[in-house]
Structure 1
Amino acid sequence: MHVLILTLGSRGDVQPYVALGKGLQAVGHTVTLCTSSRFESFITEHGLNYGYMDDAMMQLMDSMQGRELMEDVTNLWEVIKATRRLSKQVAPLQQKILQDCWDVAQTIHPDLILFHPKTYGGPHIAEKLGIPVILAMPLPMLVPTAEQANMGFPKLPLGGPLGRWYNQLTYQITNLFFAFSAGKLVKDWRAEHHLPRQSKFDLLHTHTGEQIPVLHCYSRHVALEPTDWPENVIASGYWFLDQQTTWKPPEDLQAFLNSGDAPVYVGFGSMAGRDPERLAHIVIGALQRARVRGILATGWGGLSADDLPKTIFKLEQAPHDWLFPQMAAVVHHGGAGTTAAGLRAGCPTIICPFFGDQPFWGQRVHELGVGSEPIPQKKLTVENLAAAIQTVTTLPTIQQKAKALGEKLRQEDGIARAIALLNACLEDDTTSI
């Protein structure tokens, strides 16, 4: 069977799908992964077929305008306002992405489409081709539940029917936001390709009202799997792309690790914000005040190794599955993939979120007792970061809980469970798992 995977975003929105694709390929399926062209070599190096997608959307997010947007957006209302500001720039880029996905699908004739919600053309392309479709996402954001509010909304102290009504409402509002962003584009595409008109924009159902299966690639040990989800909506467990068996560290990194106590990792991925030098100053000061050794990942605004004390190492690159088990703690932005890697390694965690799902994962880390309270980037200081580092590296209860959670996650095989469900979908040749 040929599986087409559609995804869009940073590396954290691509790597889990590469991991799943490799798992599918290992059991005999052919996999094409369609995403931004900047990831072509990353995908092909792992033995998967690449489907072209224009990179202009990612270039916009990498621009200073995009960086400022990510730093300023902290709640759903700000997301809506930002979307309005950028709508004229984003709309043609969205249209190009949808066309690229359709071009790939027409070329390879897949038997099933698996799509990230940012590539919302997935179900419509699948409908046009007459094949099954599955929504795959790394966070519990779209499927309604009465048991908890959507991550972008406050948790109100409401009980009984009123609380359940409020929780359900938050998911309806989220769907309206997606409709505001992409509804017209999808409507026009369906009309152009002679598909029936949808009564409303909906990522979770076909135009006839059938539930689209949903795979959440996170662990139920980290975020709950609501009891009122449909049967074909699950949290399969994380999709990890392990590289530690083939990757060899440079000599200077290995020498630093061998020269003292386990360091604290600090990295914010591609999200250094509008002032990476200020952020670097805070991190260096906090590590020194906490009197711990540190490893700083790339993304620090031109910071060179000569600017650092001997107790801090600047890291260009290392796979998280190799590096994190050797850390005393990890400090990062709270992306789903980085959070998962740190938790699986049993590392106490400090999340300093910018936007999106990052505050949610930061709160979950704190609620699970495996890390500090999240520190939003706008409130990050030398003092509060140093205090958090001291807490997670010295408090036995946090260290013990982090170790126990890591053991649970290492016992899971989210890829195997996802593949079993995908196979069932292919065998049934329906939209149901």
Structure 2
Amino acid sequence: MTKEQTPTYSVLDARGWAADAANVQDDGRIEVNLDSRLCRTLSRLIPVVHEEQELQDTPPIYTEVPTPGLRLNIVIQVVGSRGDIQPFIALGNELQRHGHRVRLATHDVFDSFVRSSGLEFYPIGGDPSELMAYMVKNPGLIPQMESLRAGDIQKKRAMMGEMLRGSWESCINDDPLTNTPFVADAIIANPPSFAHVHCAQALGIPLHLMFTMPWSSTRAFPHPLADVRTSSTEPKMANYFSYGVVEWMTWQGLGDVINDWRASIDLEPIPATEGPCLADVLKVPFTYCWSPALVPKPLDWPAHIDVCGFFFRSPPAFTPPPDLDQFLRSGPPPVYIGFGSIVIDDPSVMTATLLSAVQALGIRAIISHGDCPHEWLFKHVIAVVHHGGAGTTACGLLNGRPTVIVPFFGDQLFWGNMVASRGLGPAPIPHKKLNTDNLTEAIRFCLQPEALAAAEKVALEMSEESGVAAAVASFHRNLPVQTMRCHLIPSEPAAWNYKKAANPPMYLSKMAAGILIDNLRIEPKHLTLHECYPIVIKNRRWDPVTGIASSLLGTSTDVLKATRDVFYRPYQELTNNPRNQSNLQNTSISRSPSNVSTATETASPDSDFGTTPSGLRNTGAALGTSAKSVGKVVGYWYKGMLVDMPLAVSEGLRSMPQLYGEEVVDHGHIRDWKSGIAFAGKNFTHGMSEGLTGVFTQPYKGGQREGTVGVLKGLAKGTLGMTTKVSSAALGLVAYPADGMIKSLYTATHANTRKRIIRARLKEGQYLVENSSKVRANCQFALRAFETRERNQNRA
């Protein structure tokens, strides 16, 4: 499809949304006022791909990619409703056909749904109906007073903590049904699962995000959860910034929950400036599972983002009830009307509206409140009216059915606008504006020959797509195969490094290591964890001023939190102890005049916390938590003053040349004290040489490009570069090694998760040796390959 052929989404107004829905605030979207001071500030922190940097003239054609020959343990983490889960079941089945072992980790209520499809299941907790109810009650994800009074916010945060923990367990725990060991080699997830990138970082494995709605910044359309309002920002840039603003708002609500959970798996906290944009900064591969025939890939999305087509499962076997079968046979095709699992505020009013519209048109209709498979039912209707879920929308269009979308929240309005932009249905009708008249007109639109022809055309295009197969090809294409492959059994993914003397490490899979250990060729103590795809989260700095300001803010926040804990943690220690809670209750009873005698008789002997042995222990534990918090106050302050701020200034100085268009050299990642020293050395050498010579080379280069004006510009750049680069080189000699030492100390004192991963991988390797049918074929091959590599390395 050429650039000129890309749909213009003509039903959208200058702000990117349907004009008649611009003021709707009860549809799960965030009102984003880009003219506000907050949004103007955030827009400066959101990296922008400029027009001239767009990466392609036409959307790519996705062809089948050969399977890399690796059999992986893949965990698919999904949060959402049944409609969100269903596409990933189709994906999991396709991955199984390529030889992968697939585990789908989602809410407990979908256990039988997932297992009946032939996939492994892991429960992560959380209640999808509660999540949906929260979305309906809280416009734009921002809580209303009703939700605050009901405690919904704390419930949602507690539920998110539960799902984060469950998602991590899904990566390394045995199968809960069969007890078969499992350690993930790769993660596929939808963005709202939130744990994905952090689990991948802890394991050092690749991550691939997949979703049914736009989540990556683009100028083509705004974020589906954003209601963009602006008078001064150019419309395309307003669309682009809406993604960053939504991410920032989400992080503000969940960032502390995520960082608390990260601490439990021995990961450092993520800086407030980095949390909202991790996927973009890390260039995490992203596959969107919608049809490019409906919404083509935007031209400003880079190569690691794909649009592959809707994910359809194989149609389930279904025999309709006799009454439904008789109804379908007894007249012309009816119109389908249904809103899935959406909770309707007033069902009787909604039903009356639907019936009035049907009667006004004189048509037959099926008003659904059951679980009839859409794949079957939509073949027997003439048009569909629904809430606009991605899966329902896809199924209707695949069957060539014109569509009326009545959005309730979330991305449903987006899909309504996309359907309308292609003439496949009328403009969406937000559910609170639905009445007999506009529903009647909307259905009448769908019954026109033009809408039926447009729907048939899109259905033909979609029938030629294979979204699931294209998504699996996208997944395979983005795997770091060279660092994932075992050196002894090439079809197995590497999990270990085995290294002797100064030789380069040998990559060993769990099976290969199990074979070598079982045959006494190696010992487990000689194995170290292999990270085939290390994820490093940097605290990026743009200049020394904002660098030191953000560092000071971060240090102050940590110090204030630790200061609060000096008093709050002891209180928690006392009140969370069941015995203490009982004592506190007894103490409160004794203050009631009418119960003095009863309280005296029933009070626990340990009620005096400070004088009994049990009380002394409790008081000592409380004082211990207070002392730890005091230690944190001192530690945070010294770390901020002696490490974080010098590092922020050095990084800010090093990054300044990019403000005037000069590329900043990447010296690698600092992971420990050795890499910190190496980074400091490279930065010193480069900074001194570039800084001192830039005074001469920059005017020369500028003169070559722009003559006298270029010389003057070059002189300014060279002078500024000498100041920033030389200063960064000098300060970095202290800052970068100090940062590396802090990271080494953190790694040494936070080793429980690494030890757990080691145990889990060894356990799975031993299981494979004892139970896998593939071991017999691979055993002698692996032993011979190991001996050959050992001989070659010894000769070298």
Q: Aligned ranges for residues 135-150 of structure 1 at < 5 Å?
A: 135-140=209-214, 142-150=215-223
Q: Aligned ranges for residues 9-408 of structure 1 at < 5 Å?
A: 9-55=80-126, 57-61=127-131, 66=133, 70=136, 73=139, 76=140, 79-82=141-144, 85=148, 86-107=152-173, 108-140=182-214, 142-154=215-227, 162-199=234-271, 200-202=273-275, 205=278, 209-244=281-316, 246-298=317-369, 316-393=370-447, 395-408=448-461
Distance 1:165 1:59, change over 3 A: closer
Q: Any stretches of 5+ residues in structure 2 without a counterpart?
A: 1-71, 174-181, 485-531, 535-796
Distance 1:72 1:157, change over 3 A: closer
TM-superposed deviation, 1:422: 1.5
Larger radius of gyration: 2
Q: Give secondary structure in 2 for the equivalent of 1:90.
A: helix
Q: Give secondary structure in 2 for the equivalent of 1:14.
A: helix
- The answer to whether the 8 Å contact 2:108/2:125 transfers is yes
1:345-382 deviations in Å (ceiling 9; x for gaps): 10010001101101111111111101111111101112
Q: Give secondary structure in 2 for the equivalent of 1:237.
A: coil
User: Which position in structure 1 is the counterpart of 2:466?
Assistant: 413
Distance 1:431 1:269, change over 3 A: farther
TM-superposed deviation, 1:203: 6.3
The amino acid that maps onto 1:213 is P
1:253-298 deviations in Å (ceiling 9; x for gaps): 2211111000000110011421122211211221111111111111
- The answer to whether the 8 Å contact 1:290/1:387 transfers is no
- The answer to whether the 8 Å contact 1:330/1:349 transfers is yes
Q: Give secondary structure in 1 for the equivalent of 2:192.
A: coil
- The answer to whether the 8 Å contact 1:212/1:431 transfers is no
TM-superposed deviation, 1:71: 6.0
Aligned length: 401
Distance 1:338 1:392, change over 3 A: same
CA distance in 1, matches of 2:85, 2:274: 25
TM-superposed deviation, 1:251: 2.4
- The answer to whether the 8 Å contact 2:306/2:474 transfers is no
* Percentage identity across paired residues of the two chains: 32
Distance 1:129 1:406, change over 3 A: same
- TM-score, normalised to structure 2, is 0.48
1:38-86 deviations in Å (ceiling 9; x for gaps): 111000000000001224x324246xxx27x51663xx3xx22349833
Q: Any stretches of 5+ residues in structure 1 without a counterpart?
A: 299-315
TM-superposed deviation, 1:165: 2.9
1:396-416 deviations in Å (ceiling 9; x for gaps): 111100110111111110100
1:142-166 deviations in Å (ceiling 9; x for gaps): 211233322334567989x833432
Distance 1:191 1:61, change over 3 A: closer
CA distance in 2, matches of 1:111, 1:187: 24
CA distance in 2, matches of 1:11, 1:382: 30
- The answer to whether the 8 Å contact 1:425/1:431 transfers is no
- TM-score, normalised to structure 1, is 0.87
- The answer to whether the 8 Å contact 1:16/1:239 transfers is yes
User: Which position in structure 1 is the counterpart of 2:42?
Assistant: none
- The answer to whether the 8 Å contact 1:334/1:353 transfers is yes
Distance 1:371 1:165, change over 3 A: closer
Alignment equivalent of 2:476, drawn from 407, 423, 427: 423
CA distance in 1, matches of 2:428, 2:236: 27
CA distance in 2, matches of 1:275, 1:156: 31
CA distance in 1, matches of 2:218, 2:279: 19
- The answer to whether the 8 Å contact 2:247/2:277 transfers is no
- The answer to whether the 8 Å contact 1:71/1:273 transfers is no
- The answer to whether the 8 Å contact 1:353/1:359 transfers is yes
CA distance in 1, matches of 2:154, 2:480: 43
Runs of 4+ that moved beyond 4 A: 154-159, 429-432
The amino acid that maps onto 2:441 is A
CA distance in 2, matches of 1:319, 1:59: 20
State the superposition RMSD in angstroms. Answer: 2.3
CA distance in 1, matches of 2:277, 2:293: 24
CA distance in 1, matches of 2:364, 2:284: 48
TM-superposed deviation, 1:198: 2.5
CA distance in 2, matches of 1:264, 1:404: 20
- The answer to whether the 8 Å contact 2:131/2:156 transfers is no
TM-superposed deviation, 1:249: 2.0
Greater relative contact order: 1 or 2 (C-alpha under 8 angstroms, separation 6 or more)? 1
Distance 1:177 1:82, change over 3 A: farther
- The answer to whether the 8 Å contact 1:204/1:211 transfers is no
Q: Give secondary structure in 1 for the equivalent of 2:143.
A: helix
Distance 1:136 1:202, change over 3 A: farther
TM-superposed deviation, 1:241: 1.4
TM-superposed deviation, 1:122: 0.8
CA distance in 2, matches of 1:23, 1:260: 39
- The answer to whether the 8 Å contact 2:210/2:286 transfers is yes
